Chains A and B, each alone.
Chain A
Amino acid sequence: MLDVGLDHFLFLSAILFIIGMMGVLIRRNLIVIFMCVELMTNAVNLSLVAFAWNLNSIDGQAFALFIIAVAAAEAVVGLAIIIALSRRAHTINVDEVRTLRN
């Protein structure tokens, strides 16, 4: 049996976090960007639970539950904004929504 320790979890969560981050920076579809942010959040959850397991403390797990609940609220607000945008602009590509001058 492979001995899975804290390092393995942290490494996996770091990789997931970086994949999510690159996705946010590179992808142009709003839904995909949103999913990438969720991936980052879940990477954080993974490392929180791994730390809590390693430290033998319940705090990290409790925090993970709160993060999941907040992420659900964020999903609702995000989808509402994306729907409002797609009705106005008829696209969900970030590059095509450029009415505000920078």
Chain B
Amino acid sequence: MSLFATHANYWFAILIMMIGLYGIIAKRNLIKQAIALGIFQTGIFLFYVSMAVINGGTVPVWFLDEAGKKYAGPYDNPLPHCLMLTAIVVSVSVFAVAIAIIVNIKHAYGTIEEDEILNLEAEAAAGSEA
């Protein structure tokens, strides 16, 4: 129980990642696979961001107290947040490339169901041998 209570954020991050991974493996629709990939990567963002948090942590900036003196509270590690900004950009780009290719697949094959595409390819291969 305590392992769950103290590490709840990691459990949820892993859960979201596994939902995404399941979608990538189980779904035959290419758009759904791309979405599942996005969910998988979102789990990773959560994992990174939650690792930066400390108890009572705030933003890493100077505060002013009532006397006008500067002080800094305990703050969360900003580094993972910065890393995740980059990773979000990467994830969006991957999604964009995936969608662009899927649009082209729809034009070329007329479907975005993976097993139908595999059938079409198998037929094409059999046709060219005959």
Decide if A and B are genuine partners.
no
Which B residues contact A (CB, under 8 angstroms)? none
Which A residues contact B (CB, under 8 angstroms)? none
